[in-house]
Structure 1
Amino acid sequence: MKALTIGTVTLSVLVMASCGAGNSQQNAGDSSDSAEYMELFDGSSLTGWRGDTSLWRAEGGALVGEIVPGEELANNSFIIWDGGQPADFELIAEYRMTGNGNSGINYRSEELAEPLFALKGYQADIDAANTYTGQNYEERGRTILAFPGQHMRLPEVSGSVSDYAKGNIWTAGEEVESLGDRDSLRLLIKENDWNEIRIVAKGNQLEHYINGTLMSKVVDDDSANRKLEGMLGFQVHVGPPMKIEYRNIRLKNLD
């Protein structure tokens, strides 16, 4: 599959109200009523993004990733934002998934030399069945750090990642508290419709929200394996034909 790259980014800054409302858990980590956000996607082109243009396009005001029948992937592929490597930030976007696939937003990640457009790092997971949507998955790293409904602490470890990553789960994690029943949380996610995803990363604390509800939280005390800054990218995942759309993608740096 031939991969093409897209040029560098031009950012616009606007002022908008914070998204999400609800109980105290839902508002945890919420932004102020008025704050500066950067729009990461202009709604009409892939300016500022770099990825495989046979998989990604701008269409209908959305950043669209699609796997079509007969063009299945050998590896997960990302479209990568070229505007920087955020450290502490809040990222808000709307997404809609059709088909039976998997996607996600990687952050504080590093780009690998091979395969093309591959990222390693934290991911706010999204899947069509909403089994994993909102969890924290470390792509090409420690695997599942927190399932939906979990607040996890990751202690310091010695040894290799493979010593603790078993069955696609980071077994060294310690559950701090439950954020809710997984089956109940998944009912808050709309199928084949637009949902809002929000990531709040500050220091070693990582929070994932869907439609204003806190789905997972990680406190990463594992200094040998954690990342405190890095690249942003959106994923199309190995698997069945699917389409993922992202729109209204905006980023606020947190001091």
Structure 2
Amino acid sequence: MRLQKTTPKKLIYLLIGLLFLSCNESEKDTTPWVSLFDGQTLDEWTQIGGKANYKVRDGAIVGSTVRNTPNSFLTTDKMYGDFILELDYLVDSTMNSGIQIRSNSYPHYMDGRVHGYQIEIDPSDRAWSAGIYDEARRGWLYNLEGKPEAQKAFKQNDWNHYRIEAIGDTLKTWINGIPAAHLIDDKTASGFMALQVHSIGKEQKEGTEIIWKNIKILTDSLSKYSMNTPLKPLITKNYVAVDEVKKGWKMLWDGETTQGWRGARLDGFPSNGWEISEGVLTVLSSGGEESAAGGDIVTTDAYGDFELKVDFKITEGANSGIKYYVDPELNKGPGSSIGLEYQILDDARHPDAKLGNHEGSRTLASLYDLIKADSNKPVNPIGEWNTAHIISENNHVEHWLNGMKVLDYERGSGAYRKLVSESKYVKWPNFGEAEKGVILLQDHGDRVSFKNIKIRPITKN
């Protein structure tokens, strides 16, 4: 057998070929991705919201616009908490769209409207693709203003690639390999994914398309695969989002100091009984006695018409409250200052839930001792955060809990005054009818925590 002589030139080609194969092997993605789309059907996906068209074409999901319908969402049937998601999309230059993550749809919330984090798809001149928007809640949380590299990374009329990491309270995004957003926010821990087809106006063309493909996810060993980002995180705890600022919201507590607050019967803030730690304001336990430790705290400013939001977290058997239209001068005796009260209570364990002249009127989110909150109210478990929302305008008052309106009433109406006459407040003339009053957080001797305390003063026309 005669061996063929290998020339130096052939040897060089052989070495180059081996090097090429070696590089290909080393660059092969061994990440254990799981596909969210089988490339053939929309099995394990469900459409919510509008009537946009979704179909499968050439191994991709195609969404197309339909006139006279709200935003449409093709949602995963499965819920996800922590994950790393990657996908590719091709969007028409005239469209607005997004990828929903940790999103939900509840009957009590805007009649089932999809809400939650949206990773924006924005082919407009604004170029905020891969920014983070809070759909049907707070609006923009992290836009791409001042981030030209990320803005320029979007490819018009071409495929774009997103990487999205949601691990704990940290959300990070990349567009075509360029870091785009870094957000610290703990509003929602889990939910579905969704592909949005935005509603269109009269001037926009019906049938405009957005296409998604290569949709894959990781849910295990995330620390091993998570990527670092050079972007400074935007922390939303005790923070007013840009769209909230435009609507007139401001922080009522700054998350760090006692500025703007004092003891209800003190010139300054209580020296004991309250704690500020890591952006959380907590009234400490003192055995359940009302205003016996640090006492109630009130705002230094008074408010007339307003909208108030407060996140609160209770412990087992706890009792507290958020009072409004409070006049600290009314009650100089023992106990709490007097005002209308959004009740905070562990309904299952505190005896107050079964007390009161009006049945159920001392339960969570009720107008204390006057009006019972809706029995179907959505309540998060002990140790988790809930959101109280109070709106008072032109004497019409609403109590909301976790996005659901649980009661409303008219201050000063005949029905309201009748309820007062049958309650513990009957001894206070014109109770709850003051034009202005301070906001109060109650010390009822149980450990209760507060954060994200925001107010929107409403100016009368």
Name the residue aligned to 2:209.
243
Name the residue aligned to 2:194.
233
Relative contact order (alpha carbons < 8 A, sep ≥ 6): 1 or 2 greater? 1
Letter in 2 for 1:38: V
Moved more, 183-192 or 111-120: 111-120
**Aligned residue runs from structure 1 range 21-32, under 5 A:** none
Q: Given that residues 127 and 133 in structure 1 are in contact (C-alpha distance below 8 angstroms), is that contact kept between their aligned partners in structure 2? A: yes
In structure 1, C-alpha distance between the alignment counterparts of 2:54 and 2:106, rounded to whole Å: 19
Letter in 1 for 2:104: E
Name the residue aligned to 1:215.
180
Name the residue aligned to 2:33.
37
Deviation string, structure 1 residues 30-56 (Cα, Å, up to 9, x no partner): xx9522111111112211111177511
Name the residue aligned to 1:142.
138
Deviation string, structure 1 residues 133-159 (Cα, Å, up to 9, x no partner): 11100101111000126xxxxxxxxxx
Name the residue aligned to 1:176.
none
Q: Given that residues 106 and 122 in structure 1 are in contact (C-alpha distance below 8 angstroms), is that contact kept between their aligned partners in structure 2? A: yes
**Aligned residue runs from structure 1 range 135-174, under 5 A:** 135-148=131-144
* Residue in structure 1 matching 2:72, options 73, 77, 82: 77
Letter in 2 for 1:215: A
* Residue in structure 2 matching 1:199, options 136, 142, 164: 164
Q: Under a length normalisation based on structure 1, what TM-score does the superposition of the two structures give?
A: 0.67
Q: Given that residues 198 and 208 in structure 1 are in contact (C-alpha distance below 8 angstroms), is that contact kept between their aligned partners in structure 2? A: yes
**Aligned residue runs from structure 1 range 27-106, under 5 A:** 34-51=30-47, 55-67=53-65, 71-82=66-77, 84-106=78-100
1:183–1:121 CA distance, 2 compared to 1 (3 A) = same
In structure 2, C-alpha distance between the alignment counterparts of 1:254 and 1:204, rounded to whole Å: 17
In structure 1, C-alpha distance between the alignment counterparts of 2:88 and 2:99, rounded to whole Å: 12
Name the residue aligned to 2:459.
none
1:253 aligns with 2:214: no
1:254–1:148 CA distance, 2 compared to 1 (3 A) = farther
Q: Given that residues 111 and 231 in structure 1 are in contact (C-alpha distance below 8 angstroms), is that contact kept between their aligned partners in structure 2? A: no
Q: Which runs of 5+ in 2 are unaligned?
A: 1-26, 222-461
In structure 2, C-alpha distance between the alignment counterparts of 1:126 and 1:211, rounded to whole Å: 13
Deviation string, structure 1 residues 149-170 (Cα, Å, up to 9, x no partner): 6xxxxxxxxxxxxxxxxxxxxx
RMSD after superposition? 2.4
1:187 aligns with 2:152: yes
Question: What SS does structure 1 have at the residue aligned with 2:91?
Answer: strand
Question: What SS does structure 1 have at the residue aligned with 2:144?
Answer: coil
Deviation at 1:127, TM superposition (A): 1.6
In structure 2, C-alpha distance between the alignment counterparts of 1:253 and 1:135, rounded to whole Å: 22
Deviation at 1:131, TM superposition (A): 2.1
1:186–1:73 CA distance, 2 compared to 1 (3 A) = farther
In structure 2, C-alpha distance between the alignment counterparts of 1:236 and 1:251, rounded to whole Å: 21
Question: What SS does structure 2 have at the residue aligned with 1:185?
Answer: helix
Structure 1 outlier segments of 4+, above 6 Å: 114-117
Letter in 1 for 2:161: E
Moved more, 47-56 or 99-108: 47-56
* Residue in structure 1 matching 2:119, options 89, 99, 124: 124
Question: What SS does structure 2 have at the residue aligned with 1:144?
Answer: strand
Question: What SS does structure 2 have at the residue aligned with 1:128?
Answer: coil
Q: Under a length normalisation based on structure 2, what TM-score does the superposition of the two structures give?
A: 0.38
Letter in 1 for 2:218: K
Letter in 2 for 1:125: E
Q: Given that residues 77 and 118 in structure 1 are in contact (C-alpha distance below 8 angstroms), is that contact kept between their aligned partners in structure 2? A: no
Question: What SS does structure 2 have at the residue aligned with 1:34?
Answer: coil
Q: Given that residues 127 and 154 in structure 2 are in contact (C-alpha distance below 8 angstroms), is that contact kept between their aligned partners in structure 1? A: no
Q: Which has the larger radius of gyration?
A: 2
Name the residue aligned to 1:26.
none
Q: Which runs of 5+ in 1 are unaligned?
A: 1-20, 22-31, 150-180
Question: What SS does structure 1 have at the residue aligned with 2:150?
Answer: helix
Identify the structure with the greater helix proportion. 2
In structure 2, C-alpha distance between the alignment counterparts of 1:243 and 1:103, rounded to whole Å: 10
